[in-house]
Amino acid sequence: MTGYQTPPPLDETGPLADAVWEYLKAREDGRPTTDWLSRYPELEDQLQPFLSDPAGVDDRLRALGPARWDRDLATDERFLGDYELVERVGENMGTIYRARHRALAWEAAVKVLARDGDRARDGFRREVEAMARLRHPNVARIRAVPPAADVPYFVMDWYPGGTLADRPDRYARNPEGAARVAAAVARAVHHAHERGVLHRDLKPSNILLDADGRPHVADFGLAVLAGAGEAADPVPAGTPAYMAPEQLAGETTVRSDVHGLGAVLYALLTGGPPYPHADPAVPAAGAGQPPPPRAINPAVDADLDAVCRKCLAPDPAGRYGTAAEAADDLDRWLAGEPVAARPLGPAARAARAVRQARAAAQFARPGPVLLVQAAVVFLNNALAYLLVRAGAAEPLVWAAVFASYLPLLVFGLRNRAVRPGNRAGVRHLWAVGVGHAAGALAVFAAARVAAADTTAWLASGYAGVAGLNVVAFAVLGSLFAGRLYLLAVGWVGGAVGMAAAPALAPLVYAGLMSATTLSAAAHLRAVTSREDGDGG
């Protein structure tokens, strides 16, 4: 494979250059080129090779294009081996270009050595070797390395989503999204550690995003190839605003990269690095901990804040021992489980369970359904009270009591209030709804057999169904939203109240059921509105 290909000089301002530029620009813009050659009959002999070239390009002619195109290239050359350099997209230890394979037409990223010298070449070689060791879905993939190029370069997959640094505010509004990204990055970093690669420069600008927003760790130019957990070379390397204190002093271990993970998570949650004023000449400048993420962004809860701060502990012994441990704790937080970074007592665990939203975001539009349900429940059970007071036929009372299940039946059949693809949520709701209806029927039937008059069996039945509601809301709290646990506690008091005032049992049940349904609707609406506003 060859290096830069320099075509013989041609007139960049003459008609030939005009014709070539017109063709290339039309193809770039997706406009038809079928009649292009007919507009330049005097140049047909010179332009014909341009069309007949197997790659669809004749280097000598296509090289006329750059002078006319609005490109941002660091070099006047436009070809590197099999790749056409399209635009410069970044620069660190090398210059990174978006490129196009000349024969296959797929896009790639080409990184070219930006500076000469043994140290620069050694860093470039080390980056290639580090990336070649790794095969992980969240590590940038290297595609090709030319064996003998005039200018060192290598080819990677192209990641069109840019970097995490390009989205400074998106994740601050969406802590869940930040945690998911950080967990994926942590798994990738652990994969590198298992293969003896310490990254040493983890920061948002070194994490690329694909078209679906998935993160990919890149830029291993400062990596060291050591056994996992062993100290690296004594030369400080990295970006001071994100570096661990010991790294500023020239020592790097696995826990230094764990600190880098915490720094990335911190930047996602707060919009800035943990040590914006760190001075590499003064290692103590990076010591201590930055302000907690919660102090900057109130949307960050105490558990996620604790995970981030554990990664950033000044003493390496206070951090997670491996990147995998950090990923596990982030996964626990995402699953609504207690995190190792913040041990809780019984009271704190209970409070946390109540605050946890869990799968409430599975609902797309819960408000209208639950509002209808609250109204129907109140009216039907109030009607049952009036029918008993008026001495109406018993079948009418039964119909009034159980007609309140109709909105839930319609909700379950149409599924419009549940996000697409959420079959598990639908099954859970069906199980709770059908189980509750069957249990209520059994309770009222047993009460009817045991009681002497309508008022007595109706009161006993309502008290029994209130007990069912305790169980139902507790189950819903474990599945969807922790605050539903509080509604379960409310129904304990409701059951006692209905037993104490049997004549008013239908009205007590109507009011309490409507109130709890409205409370659930308000909470679910708040959760889903927040999720929709975050945008993932």
Residues annotated as part of the active site: 201
Nearest to 341 by CA among 352, 351, 332, 353: 332
Q: Which amino acid is at 296?
A: I
103: left (phi over 0), alpha (psi -120 to 50) or beta: alpha
Taking the C-alpha atoms of residue 166 and residue 268, their distance in angstroms, rounded to an integer, is: 11
Question: Do the Cβ atoms of 446 and 439 come closer than 8 Å?
Answer: no
Nearest to 319 by CA among 268, 263, 275, 267: 263
- Determine the 3-state secondary structure of 27 from DSSP: helix
Q: What are residue 393's phi and psi, to 5 degrees?
A: -60, 145
> How is residue 9 annotated by DSSP?
P
**306's tokens:** 């604790």
Burial pattern 381-398, b for ≥16 Cβ within 10 A else e, equals bbbbbebbeeeeeeeebb
Q: What are residue 96's phi and psi, to 5 degrees?
A: -110, 130
Taking the C-alpha atoms of residue 268 and residue 266, their distance in angstroms, rounded to an integer, is: 5
Question: Do the Cβ atoms of 254 and 323 come closer than 8 Å?
Answer: yes
Question: Do the Cβ atoms of 102 and 196 come closer than 8 Å?
Answer: no
Query: C-alpha angle with apex 322: 318 to 327, nearest 5 degrees?
Result: 100
**45's tokens:** 């002999």
Taking the C-alpha atoms of residue 527 and residue 510, their distance in angstroms, rounded to an integer, is: 26
Taking the C-alpha atoms of residue 168 and residue 175, their distance in angstroms, rounded to an integer, is: 13
**495's tokens:** 């059951």
